[in-house]
Amino acid sequence: MAAAVGRICGARLLKNYGIVTPQVYQLSTSTQGWTKSRKLWLSTLGVVGGGVGALLFALEQSVQASGSEAHPYHQPWAHDGWFKSLDHASVRRGYEVYKQVCKACHSLQYISYRNLVNVTHTEAEAKAEAAEVMIKDGPDDEGNYFERPGKLSDYFPSPYPNENAARAANNGAYPPDLSLIASARHGGEDYIFALLTGYMDPPAGIPLREGQNYNPYFPGGAISMAQVLFDEAAEYTDGTPATASQLAKDISTFLRWCAEPELDDRRLMTIKAIGMFSMLTAVVYYYKRHKWSVLKSRKLAYKPVSKK
């Protein structure tokens, strides 16, 4: 390389040798060449950015602490973490709790029976579950609506025909749909578990209207839904003791799955992506070192031409 540069210089192909140093200087990432104003501007930008981030974090914490409701404790869920899957046995038990307890008032309008296949039930079991409900269908050739047994493609039916009927049956309160409740409430499954197990007598000074109950985890404390989970409130097919806390744990896990049926697939894809990109990163790093090793290890030598 040095000999090649020497021949080029000897042939007078480089007229201005002083351009080499400024070009290398401009490409350098060293802070020694930065002006005072540039250093001051970058320092100010870093301080302002850090201050704004700290302010946003403080505001979020203050808003969370300003509510009158109690904040649920974080439970050690089996699916906590990027690389952990849902407990499918718990999801199946949670479905049984929903079917025996929650289904009387709450709907799952975004979940179909085919979503249960290979998650909580086999295909034959899911078909049998769907066939237990009657779905309104039609019109037929004569323009009449009729009822038929459910199929895998059918969504879970609502217990009420419309919102007015739901309010009339629940003292004016409208039972929310539970399909996305775990994602729609701050705290997710922790909030659901705390709400279902947190009923208590109202403290002094908190009046409740007729038909209301006190739950410190519900905003305002007054909730129209009565406590529904007690020991042996539902029956598990696998023989698990149906305590109130076990029922709350399983229905919370089931509702987490309802909010994100693709959770396990997404986390499995994450593991595959990390493995794939790790190998690609190693290959790219080796290729970069291979390509740049010649440029970074070269030596430029200047040999002035003698005027003799």
Annotated binding site, which residues?
102, 105-106, 225
Please report, in range form, the residues annotated as the binding site for heme c.
102, 105-106, 225
- DSSP alpha helix (H) spans, the chain: 2-10, 20-27, 36-65, 88-100, 123-131, 163-169, 181-184, 189-197, 244-259, 263-297
Would the CA dihedral through 178, 235, 223, 168 be positive or negative? positive
Give the C-alpha distances (Å, rounded to integers) separating 267 from 82, 85, 270.
Answer: 6, 8, 5
CA distance 308 to 288: 45
Three-class SS of residue 33?
A: helix
